[in-house]
Structure 1
Amino acid sequence: MSGLASPRPAGVAEWTVSRRELDRPVLVLSGRWTVATTREAPGEVASRMHEVLGEPEPFGIDCARLDEWDSLLVATLWRLRALRGFDPVELDLPPPLRRLLALTTSPGTDLRMPTVPVIRRSIVAHTGTTTLDAIAGLGGIAMLAGTLLRGLWPRRTPAGSREPGMQGRDLLDIFRRHGPAALPIIGLVNLLVGAILAFIGAAQLRRFGAQIFVTNLVGLALVRELGAVITAIVLCGRTGGAFAARLATMGANEELDALSVLGIDPRRFLVLPMTLALVIAMPLLYLYATAAGLLGGMLVAVNLLDLSASSFATQLVDVVPVSQFGFGLGKSVLFGLLIGLVSCRIGLLAGRSAAAVGDAATRAVVASIVGVIVLDSVCAVCADAVGL
């Protein structure tokens, strides 16, 4: 932009100051005052105008030579008004420009971004809000579970046709991608967990000559707790995040809205096969994970404690009853249901942007892991109450 008299190419934004009408300064604007043709910030231009105009006094604006203007000119005059304190209604401006300036702040107002007041909440208020949010989330999960339970039975429309719902091929495809495909990682993790438990137990029990009891430690820990919990945590990261990201992406692409318009309930069509496949896969993965963990413990016991594989297996059968396997299988079913419901609900409620997809996946993984740990503690308390 120009100051008092800088030649510029035709069409660019220019301004000069002249003295007319009883020696009153007049700001003459010409050219194209648009964002596309101007690189300087409105605040810088307004500051230079203020310096050239001198002491604050009444002045006019000549806009007869303007070729084009947009929000850049509004912002510049807005800032200039704050510096000099004039009323835009009294200026010789085009009516649209005058109306836009009239909608801005009052004269003399600092045009910096307003400061948002920081609301400081007490620990009690924060805890109460978090608790209410958690209760609301549990209620939403319960409602989703009820909807999926009703979706297991096909319903008839008023026209007599069956309402669209879960497809069997979708269930098999999801089961294949999140069941057998997860065997390598689950087997490796549980094998190492079993080996670590046996190694820790061997280091302590060898002092008392009670190496055989390492079988008790590894067997009960894996069958009762770690087999199901470790498998569930792996699936939280591998499957829960994938479910949430898939549903969030479909929401961002308006695919969920398209299904609703076609009369297809996304919860029955998408969430039900995801959750059901996970409920079916979890007990099978639990048995596989437990076997892998016991194998890792046996390898350590045979190589470090000079125990035979037959003695390890015999001791395992004596100390781990079938009821413990039943307890682990029941927990694995609950874990699969929890991961499916939590992940799918977070995916359905995600925002419609690329960032929301990543946020939904992260929240699903974290919420699922926390839910698995909490549910496992509840199951442990209940099992102790019934003497299991």
Structure 2
Amino acid sequence: MIVPTEAPNRLESLVNTTDHGQPEWRLDSDASGTVIVLSGEWIAQDGRIPPFPADGLRQVKKGQGIAFRTDSLGRWDTALISFLWDVKQQATRAGLDLRADTLPDSARKLLDLLPEQAAPPPPPPHRRFAPVTAIGAHTLDSLTEIGTVTELGAETARGALAAATGRGRMRMTDLMSNVRDAGPSALLIVGIVNFLVGAILAFVGAVQLHKFAADIYVASLVGIAVVREMSAVMTAIIMAGRTGGAYAARIATMQGNEEIDALTVFGIPVSTYLILPSILSLILTMPFLYLYGCLIGILGGFCVAIGMLTVTGAGYFHQTINAIALNQFELGFIKSIFFAALIGLTSCRIGLRAGRSAADVGIAATRAVVVGIVGVIALDAIFAVIANTLGI
């Protein structure tokens, strides 16, 4: 607590009254002028550092010198330097001569490094309305990022070829662990979503087709929609949110813990050791998850058709088999592979460019999910145009 005190032959001073060892200061006077007496231990971690008030030097006459007395000063750290800097700034503003020759040598050297006044905050940047410049900068950044992701994909492909010939640095334990996380662990959520999608398609189709006594064609609607589009897209979206976000968060955490830097220092290529198992596990598991999603989606449509329409089970599956051509499975199979490569590459890249704080891990995971979902839908639109051109 800061309280005033009086003493003979002294200025009316401010004294920090504390227990033994706690930091305290007071203004005193002697033959040479005003003296700031420091005592106690000035340790920032203790949280007991007394502040220097804004009017602490109001009683000192302009032009008078100020010195320090440190006979009773104990241990100190940067807390003392912060206090001395406050004194230095106020002395400069008041036109007083501050003499630091009686301070400990290390404290005096540190205080000499600090300016007499704190630097004013920089003015806010002036923002001009320049849409052409903004569009150009965004375009260049996008092209640069596309080139970086392409280069990362090429390095990963070269690492895959080296691993196939026994010269790679990918560990099979890492690949098997990623395959388990991206495959069997995702069966439940993939099955639930695709079952509901198939049921929704059957319900919507049944409402309209029943008006034309075409109940049996619900099987064709569900089968074609699930095999051609919905199973591949919904499975990819699930994997982008579940596995892609996990990849980005994992790599961002390694970036914050400087594990990526350690791999680089030891000469271990990150693309082969870390990214290749992640991408390869998605490429291996996504086609099987797609086929599993097709089966579950058709089953969801079957349950709705049997419950709402006058369709037999044998008739439903017979109509489904006749409606779905083999090239529809080929298209969905190819799309699932490209979706897997897209999710793996973008998620790992976002994790590698993340910051080093805990908040950056969450930002990287969120960005990976968003980019993965948008990328999957955009890539599916490209495949739709290609399939329409080829007449599939």
Superposition pairs of residues 269-348 of structure 1, within 5 angstroms:
269-348=273-352
- 2:86 and 2:306 map into 1 onto residues whose CA distance is 82
Q: Is the 8 A contact 1:2 1:8 kept in 2?
A: no
- Structure 1 counterpart of 2:147: 139
Q: Is the 8 A contact 2:66 2:96 kept in 1?
A: no
- Structure 2 counterpart of 1:73: 80
Superposition pairs of residues 85-124 of structure 1, within 5 angstroms:
85-86=93-94, 90-93=98-101, 94=103, 96-107=106-117, 114=121, 117-118=124-125, 120=127, 122=129, 124=131
Amino acid at match of 1:387: G
- 1:55 and 1:233 map into 2 onto residues whose CA distance is 74
Q: CA offsets per residue over residues 203-245 of structure 1, 9 Å max, x none?
A: 2333444433333432222111111010011111222122233
Cα 1:252–1:35 shift into 2, 3 Å: closer
Amino acid at match of 1:196: I
The alignment of Structure 1 onto Structure 2 pairs a total of residues equal to 377
Amino acid at match of 2:204: I
Superposition pairs of residues 159-308 of structure 1, within 5 angstroms:
163-308=167-312
1:363 aligns with one of 361, 367, 378: 367
- Structure 2 counterpart of 1:63: 69
Amino acid at match of 2:380: D
Identity rate, percent: 41
SS at 2:73 equivalent: strand
1:176 deviates by 2.9
Q: Is the 8 A contact 2:236 2:336 kept in 1?
A: yes
Q: Is the 8 A contact 1:47 1:80 kept in 2?
A: no
Q: CA offsets per residue over residues 51-98 of structure 1, 9 Å max, x none?
A: 5x2675534223243514443333234334444514676535436555
Amino acid at match of 1:135: L
1:152 aligns with one of 160, 163, 169: 160
Amino acid at match of 1:76: F
SS at 1:234 equivalent: helix
Amino acid at match of 1:47: A
- Structure 2 counterpart of 1:158: none
1:12 deviates by 3.1
Q: Is the 8 A contact 1:166 1:272 kept in 2?
A: yes
- 2:137 and 2:382 map into 1 onto residues whose CA distance is 23
Structure 1, 95-104 or 66-75: larger mean CA deviation: 95-104
2:37 aligns with one of 28, 43, 46: 28
Q: Is the 8 A contact 2:149 2:346 kept in 1?
A: yes
Residue 56 (structure 2) pairs with residue 49 (structure 1): yes
Consecutive unaligned residues of structure 1, counting only runs of 5 or more, are 156-160
- 2:173 and 2:79 map into 1 onto residues whose CA distance is 58
SS at 1:211 equivalent: coil
- 2:42 and 2:185 map into 1 onto residues whose CA distance is 62
- 1:248 and 1:186 map into 2 onto residues whose CA distance is 26
> TM-score, normalised to structure 1's length?
0.83
- Structure 1 counterpart of 2:10: none
Q: Is the 8 A contact 1:245 1:361 kept in 2?
A: yes
Amino acid at match of 1:132: L
Cα 1:152–1:72 shift into 2, 3 Å: closer
Cα 1:305–1:96 shift into 2, 3 Å: same
1:186 deviates by 0.8
SS at 1:32 equivalent: strand
Q: CA offsets per residue over residues 155-178 of structure 1, 9 Å max, x none?
A: 8xxxxx964422344433432332
Q: Is the 8 A contact 2:62 2:96 kept in 1?
A: no
Cα 1:88–1:345 shift into 2, 3 Å: farther
1:102 deviates by 4.3
Q: Is the 8 A contact 1:29 1:61 kept in 2?
A: no
- Structure 2 counterpart of 1:387: 391
RMSD across aligned positions (CA):
3.3
- 1:300 and 1:88 map into 2 onto residues whose CA distance is 89
Structure 1, 92-101 or 313-322: larger mean CA deviation: 92-101
1:257 deviates by 4.4
Cα 1:88–1:221 shift into 2, 3 Å: farther
> TM-score, normalised to structure 2's length?
0.82
- 2:259 and 2:19 map into 1 onto residues whose CA distance is 51
1:47 deviates by 2.5
1:322 deviates by 1.9
- 2:195 and 2:231 map into 1 onto residues whose CA distance is 10
Cα 1:82–1:170 shift into 2, 3 Å: closer
